[in-house]
Structures are given as structure tokens and as C-alpha cells.
Amino acid sequence: MSFMEFINFHLVPGIVLGSVYAVGAIGITLVFGILRFAHFAHGDMATLGAFIALALVTAGLTPWAALPVAMAAVAVVAIVVDKLFYDYLKARPKIMTVMASLGVALMLRAVVQVVFGVDPRTYATGIVRPDDYFGILLRDRELYTLAAVVLIVIGLTLFLRHSRWGKAMRAMSDNPDLARLSGVDNRKVTMLTWAIVGALCAASGFMLGINNELHSMMGWQVLLPMFAAAILGGVGRVEGAVLGGLIVGIAEEMSIFILPAQYKAATAFVLLLLILLVRPRGLLNGKVL
Amino acid sequence: MDLLGLANYAVFMAILIGIYALLALGLNIQWGFTGLFNAGIAGFFAVGAYTSAILTSLPASGRLGGYELPLVVGWLASMVAAAAIAWPIGKICLRFRSDYLAIATIGIAEIIRLVIRTEGWLTGGVRGVTGIPRPFGDLDYMPSQIAYLAIVATLVLVAYLLVERQVKAPWGRMMRAIRDNELAAAAMGKQVEARRLQAFVFGSALMGLAGALFVHFNRSVTPEAIDPMIATFLIWIMLILGGSGNNRGAILGAAVIWIIWSVSELLTDRLPTEIAVQAKYARVFIIGLTLQLVLRFRPEGILPERQAGSPPHR
């Protein structure tokens, strides 16, 4: 295998997959860091976003135009889910919210299955030939995916660093009581967090769908890699989630050199156990709950 | 449906309720008394199922097994195997909050599923394992069903009594202390991690045994026999609705939820085919919603946990 083959057939797909994981992992890390629980409905929220985009595409929109609409829709869904199913558990041990989120995962998936069925779907049919960029083969959709991920990460980082509400989110992540004392409205920050997390879910689901296919289990199947990415990078750290996502994505694509292809999905699990064993705070020093 | 058919169905249901009751008891040790979130129950169940199946089944070409060992060996081995999988996971994850255990158990259940599908030499791949003996299996249908029900009921009773005894013992008090206030328990010199690991391993062993009982009842096992997420979730609802921290509640919850689940399946099967598929998933939606409703309106379950030193009703 030549070097270019290695890049085109393993590294590039790994980076594309990894950046999709990164978008999902940022959402997980925000919930984990700010609201302090593991959100198991994350994957199925991504599935919902992907299918909402599919409905819009069927209605005549182009896929990339459907993305922002789907992001807005899932942002609303996430806020509603929080109000209905998570908010009242605030005073109880956080693990109860984890359980509720598992129930929400099942419910969201059932909704997708009832409305859209269980057969695999795609946004567009037909084979797309990759273009050649100095020997690196990239399809348009892969290029757009990478560009969208970069935009999302830069936008979110700027928002968290410099805007008032972003600072409030970080304050709540560091110390919710102290944040409240300093005048941060925890309820509003929670709502804002869910809106961002919902939008990120939809984006990751959509990108997963456009680079592959859509099916009702797609989100559940990427939940573990996304969690592995979030913990690997350090819980609560956006840049950590990006790093973790890329590592998990590339590791999954490389795993075929040492593991049978069927066990690709086990890579994330191994990475997760390794990081918990060696450095539970993650590569970039996140939180440990 | 005539009377005999009804009786047959009742016995069939009772056997499955017994198997689910064992699973709920296992989860009660982990969640009810210790506060550990196991989201991979189906994985431990499957390990127990396949272990006993491989050890006791008739020989078959193309896969390991056919040792035709006695059933008791298979059942004990299924408990040991499930415990052996639980131990390293617990060892790594129980240092942290239970969220991490939940993530890792989802992962291990997924990997167990991959192994079962992929490693045909071990598990028969998608064809599964057949020719699994059943105790009193050569009797007529009805006596054989009743004999099996007796075995399952005995095992549930034994498990119930053993767990009850353990929970009333100082061990149980210590576990609840760890669950309710980890720091205080640690300050009193309790070894929090080691105790949690015990509970996690014991509970998983019971889940493995339930898996073994399940395959000997069906006489075969395939990867499709258990939908991982739905099986795990049903057991969670059984425990939460019945009353976590109360063993009788766990058994009651298993009976109530399994009856509702099966009867709703009978109903949806009668629907016209166009909407039958939708109805199948609508049922899943409803069990998800049931959990939310129980958590919201009756979080202590039907039979709440008894508080030491106070009368059983609060």
C-alpha cells in the first residue's frame, strides 16, 4: 500500500468520521460539564435531526440548506425534552436524569421508527466521484462536512470565550452555586445549553447521514464513540472533544490493520477504558464526575 | 382460546416472569442497594445464555461445544462467566460516578453482541446454538412446562431468600450507607470501591443465570433472541416500577411489566399489517414514557424500599 493510498483510504475517512464525532462529542461534553450528567439520548437526538433534514430534502430543499432548519428544529426539541423530562429531576441525584435520558433515547428512536420506518435512506442517490486535490481524493460532501465542522467549532469557541452568555455557560460549568451568586440565571443558561446541544446533535446526525446513510439506529451506534471522544478529550472541554473525536475517528479507521473489520466498533470502547484507566481527566484536563 | 390453551399460556408466561424476576433481582443488587447503573443487562444475560448453551448442548459441526455437561455445571459456569466479564469493567469504572459505569456497560453489551455475531466457531454465528437440553424435556408438553416452572420458581425463591438475608445482614446496611452517602461511609472506614465491585459482580452473576434459564427453556439461542436495548430497558422499568431497593417489588415489577408487554404484543399482532409495524414501535415509545411517568409520579415504585427502624409504610 502506497503512502497516498494510506492517506486516501484510511486517514481522510478517519478525519471526516472523526470530525462528525467531534460535533457530537462537543454536545456531550457541554451537557456533562454544565448540567453534570451523561446524556444518553444524544445519539437518538442526532438520528431525529438527520431524519428531520431528510423530510426537508424530500420537500424540495437541498441537503445543506436543510441543515440549519433541522438544527433549529432539534434545538427546540431539546429544550422541550429538558422541560418535560429532565428539569423536574434537578433536585434528585444526577443519575436519575441519566436514567430519564435513556428513556428519552428510546422514545425519540421510536418516533423516528414510526414516522420514517426502519429502512435505510439517503439524502441523494447516485455515486459521487471524488475530486483530486494534489493527490488527496475528496468528495464535495466530505469537503463541506469538514468546512461545516470547522465553522461550528470556531463559532462555538468564540461564543464561549467572548460573549456574555458564553461566559455564563462556562461559569456554570465551573461552579453553579457561585455562578448563581454572581447573577447568572441558571435556568436560562440551561435552556441555552440545550438549544446549542440540540443544534449540534442535528448537525452530527446530518453529517453522519450525508456521508453514509440514514437509519433509525445510526445515532445509538455512534453514542459510544462520541462519549469516548468527550472523555478522551476531557469532560467540559470543547477543544478536547474535537481532539478526542478526531482520535477516535482515525483510530476506528486504522483499527482494521490490527482487528477484523467487524470489530471496528470496539475501538472506541477500548480507548474509553484505556483513558479511564490511565488518565480519567482526559488529555486536556477536564472534569471527573 | 380454550381453557387448556389459556393454562398453557399462563405457565409459559410464569416461566418468563420468573426469568425476568431473576434479572430484576440482579439489577436490584446493583441499583437498588448499591446505586450502580448497569445499562448492559442484556450483555450479561447473553453471556450466561451462550456459556450454558455451549457447555451443555449436543455436538454440532462448525462450532465449539457439544460437551453435553450436566445442566448444573452449565448454570454455574454461566454465573461465573457473567461475573468474569463484570469484574474488569467494575474494576475500571467503579472509581467514578455511576455515569461512567453506564457508558462502559453499554459498550460491553455492544461488544458481546459483536462477538456473538462474528465468532461463528464459538457461538454458531447467526444460526445460533441449537440442541440445548431441557430438564424434564422428554416429558409431555404440559408436565414438562410445569416441571420447568417449578425449577425456575425454586431458583427465584432461593435467590430472593439469599439476597434478602444478605441485605438484612450488616453487609446490606453497609451497602445502603455507601449508596446514600459515599463520603460518610468512606470516612467510617468502609471500602467503597471493593464493596461496589462485589455488588456489581454478584448482580451480574444472577443475570448470567437468568440467561442460562432462558436458553434451556427455549432449547436454542440466536443473536436475534434478545434485543439488547429493549431487554435492558424492560428490566429497568420492572425494577423502578416495582420499587428499587425492595426485592419483592423487583419480582412484582417483573410480573406486572411482562404481562403488560406481552398482552400489548398480542394486541398489536392482531392489527392489520399496514399499521402493525408502526404499532410495534409505538409500544417501545410507551415503555419509554412509562419510565418517565413512574420517575415523575411514583419514583419509589409500587413497593417502596423499607426504611430500617420505621414501619414498612411511609
Tell whether A165 is covered by a domain.
yes
pLDDT of residue B1: 58
What are B141's three cell numbers?
408438553
Nearest chain B residue (CA) to A38:
B99
ipTM of the complex: 0.90
Cβ–Cβ below 8 Å for A107 and B236: no
In this structure, chain B runs to a length of: 314
Total count of domains within chain A: 1
| Interface test mutation site (partner B, options A102, A275, A288, max chain B beta carbons within 10 A) | A102
In whole angstroms, give the CA distance from residue B141 to residue B9: 12
In whole angstroms, give the CA distance from residue B92 to residue B94: 6
- For the entire predicted model, the pTM comes to 0.92
Q: Which residue has the cell 431528510?
A: A54
Instruction: For residue A83, give the 3-state DSSP assignment.
Output: helix
Tell whether B271 is covered by a domain.
no
Tell whether A254 is covered by a domain.
yes
pLDDT in tens, A51-63: 999 999 999 889 9
Tell whether A201 is covered by a domain.
yes
Tell whether A129 is covered by a domain.
no
In whole angstroms, give the CA distance from residue A95 to residue A37: 7
Q: Which range of residues forms the domain containing residue A100?
A: 3-117+137-278
Identify which has the larger pLDDT, B280 or A219.
Answer: A219
Tell whether A122 is covered by a domain.
no
pLDDT in tens, A235-283: 989 999 999 999 999 999 999 888 888 888 899 999 999 999 999 999 9
Q: Which residue has the cell 438544527?
A: A71
Contacts of A88 in chain B (CB under 8 A): 296
A242 neighbors A256 (Cβ within 8 angstroms): no
Neighbours of B269 (CB within 10 A): 10
Q: Domain containing A69 — which CATH number?
A: 1.10.3470
pLDDT of residue A57: 94
Tell whether A9 is covered by a domain.
yes
Q: What's the DSSP call for residue A88?
A: G
Identify which has the larger pLDDT, B91 or A130.
Answer: B91
The one-letter code for the residue type at A25 is A
Strand partners, A137: A132
Neighbours of A216 (CB within 10 A): 26
pLDDT of residue B128: 83
Helix H or strand E segment including A132: strand A131-133
CB-based contact, B104 to chain A, within 8 Å: yes
- In the stretch 254-293 of chain B, residues with CB closer than 8 A to chain A read 277-278, 281-282, 284-285, 287-289, 291-292
Select the residue of A92, A223, A289 nearest B97 (Cβ to Cβ). Answer: A289
pLDDT of residue B313: 47
pLDDT of residue B148: 93
In whole angstroms, give the CA distance from residue A214 to residue B189: 52
- CA nearest to A109, candidates B277, B284, B232: B284
Select the residue of A100, A224, A269 nearest B295 (Cβ to Cβ). Answer: A100
pLDDT of residue B314: 42
Among the residue ranges A122-131, A196-205, B72-81, the one predicted with the least confidence is A122-131
Total count of domains within chain B: 1
Q: Is the pLDDT of residue A205 over 60?
A: yes
In whole angstroms, give the CA distance from residue A115 to residue A111: 6
pLDDT in tens, A175-197: 888 998 988 888 999 999 999 99
Angle between helices B247-269 and B3-27 (to 10 degrees): 130
Cβ–Cβ below 8 Å for B285 and A110: yes
Tell whether B259 is covered by a domain.
no
CB-based contact, A158 to chain B, within 8 Å: no
Select the residue of A107, A223, A276 nearest B285 (Cβ to Cβ). Answer: A107
Of all residues in chain A, the percent with pLDDT exceeding 90 is 71
Q: What is the DSSP string of B118-171?
A: H-HHHH-GGG-B-----TTTTS-HHHHHHHHHHHHHHHHHHHHHHHHHHHHSHH
A121 burial (CB, 10 Å; 0-12 / 13-18 / 19+) is middle
Question: A260: left (phi > 0), else alpha (psi -120 to 50), else beta?
Answer: beta
pLDDT of residue B269: 80
Tell whether B240 is covered by a domain.
no
Each residue's pLDDT tens digit in chain B (314 positions)? Answer: 588 888 888 999 999 999 999 999 999 999 999 999 999 999 999 999 999 998 888 777 667 776 778 888 999 999 999 999 999 999 999 988 889 999 999 999 999 998 998 888 888 877 888 888 888 878 888 888 999 999 999 999 999 999 999 988 999 889 888 888 888 999 988 888 999 999 999 999 999 999 999 999 988 888 887 777 788 999 999 999 999 989 999 999 999 999 999 888 888 888 887 787 788 888 889 889 999 999 999 988 999 987 765 444 44
The one-letter code for the residue type at B174 is M
Tell whether B303 is covered by a domain.
no
Q: Which residue has the cell 439517503?
A: A122
Angle between helices A218-233 and A186-211 (to 10 degrees): 120
Nearest chain A residue (CA) to B181:
A93
Contacts of B295 in chain A (CB under 8 A): 89, 96, 99-100, 103
Tell whether B11 is covered by a domain.
yes
The one-letter code for the residue type at A9 is F
Q: Which range of residues forms the domain containing residue B132?
A: 3-227
Tell whether A288 is covered by a domain.
no
Neighbours of A155 (CB within 10 A): 10
B192 neighbors B12 (Cβ within 8 angstroms): no
**Which residues, in sequence order, are CB contacts of B210 under 8 Å at separation 6+?**
B19, B20, B22, B23, B26, B45, B48
Tell whether B287 is covered by a domain.
no
